[in-house]
Amino acid sequence: MNTILIVCVITVTVAFVVLVVQAVLTLQQMRHTAKAMEYLALNADGKLTAMDPMIGAIKTASSAVSSGWFKIARTVYGLFSKE
């Protein structure tokens, strides 16, 4: 009976050590990922402001598509394209 208890205690101890090692490795990876995200966030600010003209052009095009003239043209096209 004692042998079974010793084997169980050793198995639980080994499983706990493996769990701790895996947790430490996971936390190290999370720290590395957080540092990379911080670097990306700090450097993305200048790059995103350079894209403002392109974003403005896309916004203008999308507002033109959703305007009333486009809806009227789509309705007229839908009337003639039905079989």
pLDDT of residue 58: 81
SS3 of the chain: helix, strand, coil, percent, to 5: 90, 0, 10
pLDDT digits (tens, 9 = 90+) for 25-66: 999 999 999 999 998 888 877 777 777 788 888 888 777 766
**Are the C-beta atoms of residues 64 and 70 closer than 8 Å to each other?**
yes
Q: Are residues 37 and 64 in the same domain?
A: no
Q: Are residues 45 and 59 in the same domain?
A: no
Q: Can you give the pTM of this predicted structure?
A: 0.50
Q: Are residues 63 and 42 in the same domain?
A: no
Amino acid at 10: I
pLDDT (average), residues 60-81: 74
Question: What's the domain count of the chain?
Answer: 2
Q: Are residues 34 and 66 in the same domain?
A: no
- Residue 22 structural domain: 1-50
Q: Which of 1-15, 21-35, 36-50, 66-80 has the lowest mean pLDDT?
A: 66-80
Q: Are residues 13 and 42 in the same domain?
A: yes
